[in-house]
Amino acid sequence: MYPILFHVFGYPVSSFGLMLALAFLVGAWIVGKRMPEEGIDPELVSTMLLWGMFGGILGSKLYYALDVSLRGQLPFTAAFFSRSGITFYGGLILGAVVSVIACRIHGIPVKAYSACVAVCLAVGQAIGRLGCFLVGDDYGRASDLPWAVAFPEGAPPTTQTVHPTQLYEVLWLLPVAGLLWVRRKRSPFLFGEYLALNGIGRFVIETWRVNPKVALGLTEPQWIAIALVVFGTGGWLYFWKREAPAEAMA
């Protein structure tokens, strides 16, 4: 594994940090391609990227700090300002809220912009999970399968071979991104499809993870995954029903 790639003026540059930066850059490129298709000025892509980055990173840190402080593992302030703790779901939630606010400020239709970011989120999340793999974070439980991996310099370190659940998510998310790209012009609610597919994949992959169960035998990420499936499917059905009469009259 390669948790630290190099140092700049004595400051370590982690492989996860590099992958996070790459995820934002690739995401911006995808959104820039999609915005004209949705009738949105592509000149706003950098502005919207900054809004999304701010909400995503802040949300990921807040989620992590609240989670570990409520579990008594670290004080909130120490967790929030630590170098670790970039949680995707926290970033997704607050990033979505901030992006909606940004859409209102810049006069962008929220549903159209959500369709622009659906593919971007799947690809960006996959790149981020590659970063998790490189630093040895978010791995699964012990396994003796041929592709199981040990993370002696991981977070936390383990010399046992474990499920590389980070790569499981990559293998799920990349086909999801491809499917969303194919459906981008005919889906009634592309962002809803992303949420539902994301939730399904994470719910299943979580069975190989080591997160503690919080209720009814399910982990916290599994409950969030269920919420994403419900919200995504519900939103898809809502917009499908709204568009159905117009299609029938055409």
CB atoms within 10 A of CB 83: 10
| Percent of the chain with pLDDT strictly greater than 90 | 58
Q: Is 231 exposed, middle or buried (0-12, 13-18, 19+ CB in 10 A)?
A: middle
Provide the pLDDT for residue 249: 46
pLDDT given for residue 53 in this prediction? 87
DSSP string over 131-155: HHHHHTBS-BSB--STT-EEETTSB
pLDDT tens-digit series, residues 212-237: 888 899 998 999 999 999 999 999 99
Candidate from 22-26, 72-76, 121-125, 199-203 with smallest mean pLDDT? 72-76
pLDDT, tens digit, for every residue of 38-90? 999 988 988 998 898 899 889 988 888 888 888 777 788 887 877 667 788 88
Res 245: pLDDT: 63
Q: Give pLDDT, residue 3.
A: 67
The one-letter amino acid code at 31 reads: V
Contacts of 64 (CB under 8 A, 6+ apart): 79, 80, 84, 85, 86, 87, 90
Domain residue ranges in the chain:
4-180
